[in-house]
Structure 1
Amino acid sequence: MRYELLGSLRVVRGDSCHTLSARKKEALLAALVIRSGQVLSVDQLVDELWVDNPPCRATAALHVYISQLRSFLGPRGRRNPIVTRSPGYLLELGSDELDFHVFQQFFREGRNLVRVQDHEGAVVRFEAALGQWRGSPLSGVGEGRIVSGFVTWLEELRLECVEMMVASSLALGRDHELIGFLYSLVSEHPLHEAFYESLMTALHRTGRRADALLIYQRARDALRRDLGLEPCRRLRELHQAILSDDDGLVLAGR
C-alpha cells in the first residue's frame, strides 16, 4: 500500500486509488501519516481537527473517526496500521510506502551527485523527485498545526529541489530548454531571487542580453513593491556582469 500526500490525499492499493470524502477524516489520516511511527495524543488530534475550537463531544467524535479510518484502511493480512497507544494513536507504516519519502530519497541522491559534479545524474534524480508531485500537497485537507507545518516544509523542500535541478541543468549548458520553464517559475514565485538569477543567466548565454536586463528590472520592481528591498548582492552582481557583457557567463554554460 502507498500513502500519497504530494497532491490530494489518497491511498493506493495495487491498481486502485482510494480517497476520503469527509474533511475531518482526511485531516486525521494526514496527521497520522505525517507522524507515522509517533504517538499522537488525543489532545493533539482534537486540536488538529478543530484548531482550538473543539465541540463538546470532540473526543467521542475522534474515536468514531479512528474506527472509520481503520475500516477504510481495511485488513491487509496483519493488524490494522492504526494502533491505540497511550495517550492516543499512531500509524505503523511497516512495509507501506509514502510518496514524500520517495521524493526525499531521490532528492538526497541528487544532492549527493551534485557534490561530485555529476550534474547529468543529479538532474535525473531531481526530475524523479519532482515527478512524485501531483499538485499542491494535501490540498484542502485542513489547517491544523501538523498538516499546515508539514505543507510549508514540503513546499520549501520542493523549491530547493527545483532550484538545484535548474542549477545542474545550467551547468550542463541546457540554457535554451530552461528559458520557458524559468519564465513560469518567476511568475509563480515573484520574490524568489534564485529563479531570476537563473533566468537572467540563461537569457544572457543564449544571446538575449536585453531580455536578461529586463528580467532584472522585473525582479527589482517586485522586491521593492512587495518588500521594500533591493535585489540581493548576487543578483546585483549578475546584473553588472551582463551590463559589461562578461564572456565568463557565456562560457560557463558551454
Structure 2
Amino acid sequence: MPLVIAHRGASAYAPENTLEAVDLAAAMGFDWVENDVQRTKDGELVVVHDDTLERTTDAEQVFPDRAPWRVADFTAAEIAKLDAGGWFGERFEGARVPTLTEYLERLEDNGQSLLLEIKDPELYPGIERDILRVLREGGWLDQDHIAHRLVVQSFGEDSIKEVHRQCPEITLGFLGTPPVPELPRYAAFADQINPEDTTLSAEWVAAVHALTGLHGRPLQVSTWTVVDAATAGRVHDFGVDGIITDTPDVVGDVVRPAG
C-alpha cells in the first residue's frame, strides 16, 4: 500500500503550505505532508512554494511598491505580516506563511512526518546548510526522525548531493523522470526518484525498483500531483511507493484497503 502524502498539506481544502493545511491533513488521518522551503532576505527559512509572494499572499496590497515580490527580497518580519489564507477563502483569512521552525513544531505536535522540498536551490546558495541547521535545532535529525519521518527532495541534483555530504544519513529524493538507461546514475545519490504522474509507466516504476538506492535499499517512487481517483488507481497499479496529492481523502479511499 503506497504512502499517501498530503501535497503542501491538504491543499485542495486549505491554503497550501500553511499550518491550517497541515492540521487538516492530520484531522483527515494522514501522517505525511509535503512542503516547500525558500529563504528570506534576512536568512529565515519559510514554507512557501513560489519564489514570489503574490499568488498565495496579499503582498501586492500590503507592499504595492515591491514588485515582483520575491521571497528573497523580503525579511521574515515583513512576510509575517502577510495574509496567506484569504486568497483561498474567507474562513482562512489571517493564515500566515509559516517559518520552517514553526512548521516543524506543528508537525511534531501532530505526530506527522515530512517530505521537505528544497525549492529553487540555485536562488539560495547554502540553503542546504540552513535547512539542516533548523532540522537539527528542531530535533528532526535524531535516529527516529531520520529513519522514519523525514525525506528531503529537490529538482536540484547538486542540492541533494550537498545535503548528503553534510548529513549522510538523510533519505533523499530526486524530482523528475530520468530515462531508464540513466536510472543507475541517479540511484548512486538518491533513495527515491519522484516523478510527475503524467510521465509514469509500470515499466519505468519496475526499472526503478530493480535498482538499489543510496542507502542500500531498493529505490522507491513517490509520484505527484495526483488529485483524482482514476489517476490514483492507475499509479497504484503501477506499484508506486507513495502518492503525493492535494486530495489525500480521495486518494486514501482508493489505495487503503476497506475496513
Q: Place the TM-score, normalised by the shorter chain, in its bin.
A: under 0.3
Bigger radius of gyration: 1
Which protein has the bigger helix share? 1
Which protein has the bigger strand share? 2
